[in-house]
Structures are given as C-alpha cells and as structure tokens.
Amino acid sequence: MIDFEKSKDYLICVDSDGSVFDTQEEKHRNCFAPRWIEVFDLNEHYQEAMMIWLKTNLYSKARGINRFIALEKCLKQIEEIGVEVKGLMGYENWILLSNELSDKALMEQIRKVENECLEKALIWSLRANRSFNMLVDEVKIFDNVKKALRFADKIADVVCVSEANMDTLEKEWGDNDIRKYVKAIYGQEAGIPDNTIEKLIAKGYDKDKVIMIGDSPNDLEAAKANGISFFPIVVGQEAESWAQYIYEASTKFLEGEYKGEYENNLIDIFEKVLE
C-alpha cells in the first residue's frame, strides 16, 4: 500500500476469481477439492466431500470467501457426517485470532504450535497453489472484461482487490495482458478486502467516487463496511454483467447517480441467485 499514489478522483476496486476470470468452477473442482480430499484423507467419503466443497464454495453465500475460512466450513461439515478431524479446534482458533489468513501467516502459527489440522491446511493450500499453476493455460477471462478495464483505467485509479494469493494473481493478470490496466494488485497477503479498501480510501478518495466490482457476498460486505458502492458480477451471467457495467452502470457511477434505487436493484438480483 505504501507505494500507491492516488492519481484520479475515482477509484475502482475489482475482484479477480469469478469476476474477471472464469476460474471458480475449475479451481474448486480440479484444485481445491481434490487436494482437500487427498490431504485430509477423505477418499472413503469422496462423493460427499466433493459435494460439500463445491456446494459451499460455488453455490452458497460463502462463494469467494478466503480459502482458509472455506476450509474451516467444509471441515466442520465433514465432522457432521462422522469423520474426525484431528486438531480442528486449534485450526478454528487460528481463523478466529489471526489478523491475516494466508500461507505465510499459517506457517508462522505452525512454528509456534503443534497441530495436525494446521499442518494439513498448509500442505493443502500449497498443493492447491501448485495445481493452479498447471491450470493457467486454461484460465479464461470473461467477455467484456478487457473492454471494461481499458475504459475504467482512463477515468479512474483501478486496483485488483482479491482474497487469492498474490503470486497467482500477478501471473493470471499478467498472462492475460490486463495487468497494465490496474495500478496495483492486493491479494490475501495484503489482508482482508475490507481493510485493503479502507486503506485505499484513506489515500484521499471521496467515498461516493469509489466502487467495488465483485461476484461474491464478501465483496459486497467489503463495500458496505466501507460505505462505497458495489457492482455485482452475477454468477452465470458474467459477460452480461460486464456489458451492463460498460454501457449503463459506469455512466451512472461517474454522474453520481449510481447509489440508491439502481444499485439496490442490482444487489437484489445478485443475492437471489446465491440463495
């Protein structure tokens, strides 16, 4: 955050997974879930575990949540079907008390405390990262995103604010030739999006001139917590959402007419899809 300089009146924060990239399904089905089943020895319950993971991470209000919180939610559900997860309580304590939920923070905790669940969580997270790197050729950018970012970059300071890990983000934005449209990328190492946005606003933006674009309830929460606007990328209608942003919402945002009825309607539609 130290090297970030405000250069325009408007600030646009954009999430990455599920908003810019069509990666949610792919990452969860082929990276997070199988590595979870492998590291936590859930092969005997393969189908149930897979279902728990996908339902929680793709089709519930937990969509897009930090991976370590997602893991906690899924491990609790696994315990409910009768599988013991050793050390889960210690893991839950870490989630509750750590002010950063990242590989690095987890590694520091493991240096201090001996706990099987913490260790497995780290192995799982690192293996998932490695799996993403093998997926990269298949990372697909949603239609209309490039156009939207190119336009946004001309009128606003644009930053990526995500819960994903920074190396993966830099690689995906770089590989897809859109890194040039954002001033900075803030991933899980920068802290939770709520705090990242707060620090960005503190660079001198008027809250009425700041918007968050995202696909998950926690993106919406981060916007609400900071009193800024939110533009939803609707699951299953991502390209249409971006087109609506380009041709309608962005003008309203720039003219100060976004907040209120227009924004509330968009958020209603977004929330219905994730119910």
Residues near Mg ion (CB under 5 A) are: 15, 17-18, 64, 215-216
Instruction: Tell me the two tokens of residue 89.
Output: 């309580």
- Cβ atoms < 10 Å from Cβ of 265: 10
Compare residues 55 and 203 and give the one whose CB is closer to Mg ion. 55
Q: How far is the CB of 218 from Mg ion (least distance, A)?
A: 8
- Amino acid letter at 141? I
* Sequence-distant contacts of 262-266: CB under 8 A, at least 24 apart: 263/229, 263/230, 263/231, 266/231, 266/232
Compare residues 64 and 191 and give the one whose CB is closer to Mg ion. 64
Q: How far is the CB of 267 from Mg ion (least distance, A)?
A: 16
Contact in structure between 29 and 54 (CB atoms under 8 Å): yes
Compare residues 42 and 54 and give the one whose CB is closer to Mg ion. 54
Q: How far is the CB of 228 from Mg ion (least distance, A)?
A: 17
Judged by phi (left if over 0) then psi (alpha if -120 to 50, else beta), residue 260 lies in left
φ/ψ (deg, to 5) at 203: -75, 0
171: three-class secondary structure by DSSP: helix
Q: How far is the CB of 132 from Mg ion (least distance, A)?
A: 14
Q: How far is the CB of 129 from Mg ion (least distance, A)?
A: 17
Which residues on adjacent β-strands are paired with residue 211? 12, 229
Compare residues 40 and 230 and give the one whose CB is closer to Mg ion. 230
Compare residues 115 and 196 and give the one whose CB is closer to Mg ion. 196
